[in-house]
A and B are shown apart, each in its own frame.
Chain A
Amino acid sequence: MNIFVVMKRTFDTEEKVEIKDGRVDEEGAEFVINPYDEYAIEEAIVLKEANDGEVTVVTVGDEEAEKELRTALAMGADKAVLLDTEDLDDEVDHYTISEMLAAYFKNQEFDIILGGNVAVDDGAGQVAPRLAELLDINQLTTITKLDIDGTKATVERDVEGDVEVVETELPLLVTCQQGLNEPRYPSLPGIMKAKKKPLETLDLDDLDLDEDELEAKTKTVDRFLPPEKQAGKKLDGEPAEQVEELIKLLRTEAKVI
């Protein structure tokens, strides 16, 4: 079984976000594998163990993303591919990224592609469904359970709290939601082995792509921080007094009840 994971390097969720010269300041920030992509990597490894196959993790980014690819290899993926954005303009968007991925996948044989439901930095969740469309395969998003039997996939999806049980055929793209599994930590032997596993870097030439075809379809005109939330009032007294004061403030000051 040919199993692929599309993953992204993101800011650690612990990080505060600062804006400098209209961009998010990355200086000194910790980066991690997008937490939702960790579910995808874990599920891919579980699938491989159950079905015999190979897991390839793919990311679009610059060479810094090799660190996150190595982490995925240490978790148990077999091969890693970096689609290098070095030759591209600063402004890339979901269109750019999904076109690069599609160019890569057009030369691969795949049974299933797994991704995170959303990346915690940009939060758009566009790339995976775009990729499925470009490859003309079915997609199931926000999955919380995956069973594969031959070419049949039975999947549970989280649909705003309800659970939808669906069936479809491979090849398929899925995006993973919290609750699907518990991602493993890389083991020490895993980390050692990862160093020797293949990590391939492909640039635009390798993908037979031209910079002009990849120009972003959207542009960012501003980035800013929300007004800082001021700590409010702590209410004093016994519980009953605090509650009385709260109700009064919600009515007269905040006017929400």
Chain B
Amino acid sequence: MSKNVLVLAEAKDGELRNVSFEVVAAGKKIAGEGSVKALLVGESVASFSEQLIQQGADEVLVAEHSDLKTYTTDAYKQVLLQVIESESPDALLIPHTSSGKDLAPRLAAKLSSGLVSDVVDIEEVGEEVIFTRPIYSGKAFEKKSVSSGLVFATVRPNNIPALEVDSSRSGETKDVSVDLKDLRTVIKDIVKKTSGKVDLAEAKVIVAGGRGVKSADGFKPLEELADILGGAVGASRGACDAEYCDYSLQIGQTGKVVTPELYIAVGISGAIQHLAGMSNSKVIVAINKDEEAPIFDVADYGLVGDLFDILPILTEEFKKVKAGA
């Protein structure tokens, strides 16, 4: 049992995303006696190398180019193909993020390879790597393997725990030169709406609002609570349809599927499409004035009452907790 695993790390807003360490940890699970090499791609990313090594990478490959500053399909595909060609990995793991979802299937098609997407768990049974992934947005799960050739998967953030930081670890960092051509997408502008906010997919705590929140202004107290808890704000489709917030916050079968440690549902009824996106969260708290609301069927702790009464008190109490009272 020994595999050479290549994993793609991902940086955002000048920091490595946590999922980078998670793919390294996932790689370790299947590498056995083999090694885990992490690939950093960007304009100026070499400085992240040490962190990856301290959290489990045996070697780091760095591909830097001014055309790699922002992800585009063509540029990243060319980098990955060149690195796959030179490293011939037995397994390739890519974060199941916006760019990973765009990139991985294209690579798989180019390599005529199988690909298991959106993996939440990995186990090794004999020589075979078995991946667990949600289907029907988490209403069910399946276990899959790649039949032959490259073991290839995308890994969902927030599911496979990263390894502890070990500052005594060392490893080589190697520059790879890349040759980019025929880039077909030109990036004109990026409108940042999420700066300084915790990414929903990676959030440990989510405070989600529904139609019960009543207005866009009604989301402000939710943001305050999320800030105090170091978490992110999410929403039901009801709230998005009513234009209280952006669709990018929507959680559910046609939105994001999330698995935070703590999910606080505020004024959300708990429609089956919403539950699909959040019911695998570790601990669920629901605040709803309707005792019969289906959200209570999945909530660990239910607070029946008016959210406008409960939320301010809850926020104050959490503030005290965080202040160490």
Q: Which A residues lie at the B interface, using CB under 8 A?
A: 11, 13-14, 16-17, 19, 24, 35-36, 93-95, 98, 120-134, 138-142, 144, 154, 158-169, 177-179, 216-226, 229, 231-235, 239-240, 242-244, 246-247, 249-251, 254, 256-257
Contacts and interface: CB of A to CB of B under 8 A. Distances in A.
16 contacts: A17-B136, A24-B136, A95-B109, A128-B105, A129-B102, A129-B105, A130-B109, A166-B187, A177-B247, A217-B113, A217-B146, A218-B144, A221-B145, A223-B142, A231-B296, A232-B284
Q: Is the interface of A mostly helix, strand, loop or mixed?
A: mixed
Contact of B318 (A130, A158, A224, A247): A247
Interface in B99-137: 99, 101-106, 108-110, 112-118, 130, 133-137
Nearest to A254: B283
A193 B108 CA distance: 40
B46 interface: no
A179 B141 CA distance: 28
A244 B314 CA distance: 8
A50 B146 CA distance: 44
A228 to B, nearest CB: 9
Nearest to B139: A17
Nearest to A135: B109
Given A17-B136, A160-B248, A243-B303, A221 B143 contact: yes
B298 interface: yes
Contacts of B145: 218-219, 221
A239 B74 CA distance: 55
A163 B253 contact: no
Contact of B283 (A125, A131, A250): A250
A161 B246 contact: yes
Chain B, interface SS category: mixed
Identify the 3 closest CB pairs spanning chains A and B, nearest first.
Answer: A217-B114, A232-B300, A133-B109
B300 A163 contact: no
A160 B297 contact: no
Contacts of A161: 193-194, 197, 199-200, 246, 248-249
A95 to B, nearest CB: 6
A209 B306 CA distance: 61
A138 B74 contact: yes
Contact of A164 (B97, B135, B187, B197): B187
Nearest to B280: A226
Select the residue from B115, B149, B248 with max chain A CB neighbours within 10 A: B248
Given A130-B109, A138-B74, A223-B140, A123 B262 contact: no
B87 interface: no
Nearest to B102: A141
B301 A218 contact: no
B141 A138 contact: no
A226 B138 contact: yes
A82 B30 CA distance: 40
B199 A160 contact: yes
B228 to A, nearest CB: 11
Contacts of B190: 159, 162-165
A178 B277 CA distance: 15
Contacts of B134: 123
A117 to B, nearest CB: 9
Interface in B153-187: 184-187
Contacts of A223: 135, 140-143
Given A126-B108, A220-B142, 8 more contacts: A16-B139, A124-B133, A125-B117, A161-B193, A161-B194, A165-B191, A217-B115, A246-B301
Nearest to A130: B109
Contacts of A218: 114-116, 144-147
A141 B194 CA distance: 19
A19 B117 contact: no
Contact of A166 (B113, B146, B185): B185
Contacts of B296: 231, 234
B255 A13 contact: no
B310 interface: yes
A127 B115 CA distance: 11
A124 B117 contact: yes
Contact of A235 (B102, B192, B302, B318): B302
A231 B115 contact: no
Given A221-B143, A226-B140, A242-B303, A98 B109 contact: yes
B226 to A, nearest CB: 14
Contacts of B135: 17, 24, 121-123, 223
A16 B272 contact: yes
Contacts of A250: 262, 283, 285, 301
B143 A120 contact: no
B140 A13 contact: no
Contacts of A242: 303, 305, 310
Nearest to A35: B254
A150 to B, nearest CB: 16
B313 interface: yes
B184 A138 contact: yes
B55 interface: no
A43 to B, nearest CB: 15
Contacts of B303: 234-235, 239, 242-243, 246
